[in-house]
Amino acid sequence: MRQREARPRLIQALLDAFSLPDLRRRLLFTLGMLVIFRFVAHVPLPGVDLDALHELFERNQLLGMLDLFSGGAMRNFSVAAMGVYPYITASIIMQLLVPVVPGLRALSQEGETGRRRINQFTHWLTVPLAALQGYAQLALLRSQGIVGLSQPLPTLAIICSLAAGTMFLVWLGELITERGIGNGVSIIIFGGIVAGLPEMIGRGFIAKENPGGLVAFTILALAIIVFIVIFTEGHRRIPVQYARTAFRGGRMYRQSGSTHIPLRVNTAGMIPLIFAMSLMIFPGTIASYFASPEGMEPNFANTIMGWFDPNAALPLGLFYWGFYFLMVVAFAFFYTMVIFEQMDLARTLQRQGGFIPGVRPGKPTTDYLNQVINHITWAGALFLALVAVMPFMARELTDVAVLTLSSTGMLIVVGVALDTMKQIEAQLTMRRYEGFLK
């Protein structure tokens, strides 16, 4: 017993998890699916100049963001080059359509059956989105002289292969959700990001520039992780009381109880960062097709590229990152309101016989909850905006250019790690094992 208590709780919890046959099977299944994903990420498509492709990724920030969701597979233009990004796009579109389309709104209120139907629509929408994105990606690479194949049949084969790779990764993710541990699609993205960390750290050691800056960069990265954990786990508890009338043996009994509704400070998650990043990168990407080449007199397209270049010097850099900050705050409020409206907590409480002490049911409860969520969303929105501009702050404070901090990637890694730890904790708690989270 003393030996058990002397070990760190995290290590002991992992040992307890692997000592249970069913939980060990789930963990090994998850690791096996990640290994398969990494193999698929290195299956290349034909006709690609990899050296020119890597150079393009250094210049194009939009491709760098998409490569984040493919786990580095896009940088090698493999079968899984698009990762699960089309599925994420389809999921976001469906979430935005549910409160607008009456049929989808009715389906969302049908419980598990409705959610399965909406999930099926999401899968159907993923296929054309994957095909369109695959064609757009292929056209971009052709315009840069990276892909030489232009015949119709090879083009169709590459597009079908890219779409099939996306659907294969979505299927792997759903297998992890069903038979493994954690949210499968998030685990796939998590595995891709973590797989790229050794290469980035290796670049830092190989460069051997500014050792003090590298130390400061490491300390800042650890501080950001702590910051993300605090706000990811932060929530406001709304007290709720239940009062029901039950009839037993011809007599009436009044039953009561109390609980709380945890309203998360960061309800929107990483979605506002994705929205804002996409809109911030779009003008510069379009302008790059009309800009004058190097050595010629710059035109207005070159000016736009300078305004929307995240690596620009301080005057232009402040414009880009300041506008990015404001966009993240705006999208955080927008997406939080959309998600909160879909939850319809006031009607759910009234249907279940619950009420907030001191607040009348119905519209007063709705107004009270909206007021609370508006107040705490300010903290969540400012948190996301600060995390979004951390790459700029890290570069200016540490003067380290060889390493980059991906705010979206750090949010994904920390969020997925916390969610997976909680699921393991829940499995251990059901079996009366001591976990590592309170």
Instruction: Summarize pLDDT for 352-402 with one digit per residue, the tens.
Output: 777 788 888 878 888 888 888 888 889 888 988 888 888 777 777 766 655
Greater model confidence, 255 or 115: 115
Do residues 375 and 333 lie in contact, with contact meaning Cβ atoms separated by under 8 Å? no
For residue 409, is pLDDT > 70?
yes
Give the model's confidence band at 437: pLDDT under 50 very low, under 70 low, under 90 confident, else very high: very low
Q: How far apart are CA 159 and CA 270, in angstroms?
A: 28
Q: What is the average per-residue pLDDT within 225-242?
A: 83
CA distances from 40 to 35, 83, 307, 409 (A): 9, 10, 38, 21
Residue by residue, DSSP assigns 153-179 as: HHHHHHHHHHHHHHHHHHHHHHHHHHH
263 membership: H or E segment, kind and range: strand 251-264
Q: Can you read off the two tokens belonging to residue 313?
A: 């010097």
Q: How far apart are CA 150 and CA 152, in angstroms?
A: 7
- pLDDT per position as a tens digit, 264-321: 888 887 778 877 877 777 777 677 667 776 667 777 777 777 777 776 667 777 788 8
Q: What is the average per-residue pLDDT within 125-135?
A: 88
Q: Where in the chain is the domain with CATH 1.10.3370.10?
A: 1-198+406-438, 210-401
The residue to which tokens 């290796």 are assigned: 202
Query: Which class is domain 210-401?
Result: mainly alpha
Where b means 16+ CB within 10 Å and e means fewer, 258-271 reads eeebebbbbbbbbb
Which pLDDT score is estimated for 1? 39
Helix axes 152-179, 112-143, angle to 10 degrees: 140
What 3-state DSSP class applies to 270?
coil
Distance between start and end Cα atoms, the chain = 20
Chain Cα centroid distance, residue 385: 15
For residue 431, is pLDDT > 70?
no
CA distances from 371 to 35, 295, 306, 338, 366 (A): 46, 56, 40, 15, 9
Query: Which class is domain 1-198+406-438?
Result: mainly alpha
Which pLDDT score is estimated for 11? 65
Give the model's confidence band at 168: pLDDT under 50 very low, under 70 low, under 90 confident, else very high: very high
Q: Residue 49: how many CA atoms within 13 Å on its side-chain side?
A: 13
pTM: 0.74
Do residues 411 and 390 lie in contact, with contact meaning Cβ atoms separated by under 8 Å? no
Greater model confidence, 230 or 435: 230
The residue to which tokens 């491709």 are assigned: 63
Q: How far apart are CA 386 and CA 234, in angstroms?
A: 16
What 3-state DSSP class applies to 82?
coil
